[in-house]
Amino acid sequence: MNYRKYFLITLVVIGIDQASKLLVYHNMYIHQEINVLGSWFRLHYLLNPGMAFGIRWENEFGKLALTVFSIFVLMGLGYYLVSMIQKKAHAGFLVCLALILGGAIGNVIDSTFYGVYLNNAPLDAPTKWFHGQVIDMLYFPLFHFTWPEWVPLKGGEYFEFFSPVFNIADSSIFIGVVIILFSQRRFFKEELGDTTVETQVVQETVQVTFTTSNSMESDSQTPESEEQKPKASGE
């Protein structure tokens, strides 16, 4: 069995994710923005006190419980990847699992260690261990406008698409899940003689994935509008 190439994909995702977060941490300040491609792709430094995609548990020890639970889920996802490799599942499906695993591990590293090594745990955290905040930076505000006053319920409100700020780990999870969902016919059908059998593995995968990623949009942290955004020191 060729396990190496799939776990290598996982390691590459973790490496790129952690490198990008550390670069932002050492070279930007909170809420700083840098235009990368015009105004529609920016780096916007935010700290996410939740897990992947901003999932939170509002309790004194909620973050600790969520992080520890995620670690156990990651172990299950890793075992699932190994079992799918042994069963010779479709290579594309295995690549998607490797992407999801890498992204999930990337965010769990933040939550587990960043509170201690980057000292970014919330001030009210009972311990710095397992209370690190996830670093987000990718921001794609493609367009924005203010709803006309005559629009019911929304009149006068500011609207921006796409407002969530996320990171490489979130992107990896999202890409893996989307490819699986749109490639079911390719990934989960096996030809056995004259009979076509469609497996149910996609249901297990989606369930494990969303438990691990905690998605893309409950969500990542959303930067405040220019009128509302507090200015960080130095701005």
Q: Reply yes or no on whether 170 is catalytic.
A: yes
Q: State the catalytic residue, choosing from 17, 110, 124, 170.
A: 170
CA atoms of 200 and 213, how far apart (whole Å):
21
DSSP annotation string for 61-119:
THHHHHHHHHHHHHHHHHHHHHHHHHTT--HHHHHHHHHHHHHHHHHHHHHHHHHHHS-
Per annotation, catalytic residue among 17, 110, 124, 136? 136
In the numeric block, which tokens belong to residue 80?
């699932």
Tell me the Cα Rg of the chain. Answer: 20
Residue 102 tokens read as 């890498």
**Alpha helix ranges (H) inside the chain:** 4-27, 62-86, 91-117, 168-182, 184-187, 201-213
Write out the catalytic residue numbers. 136, 170
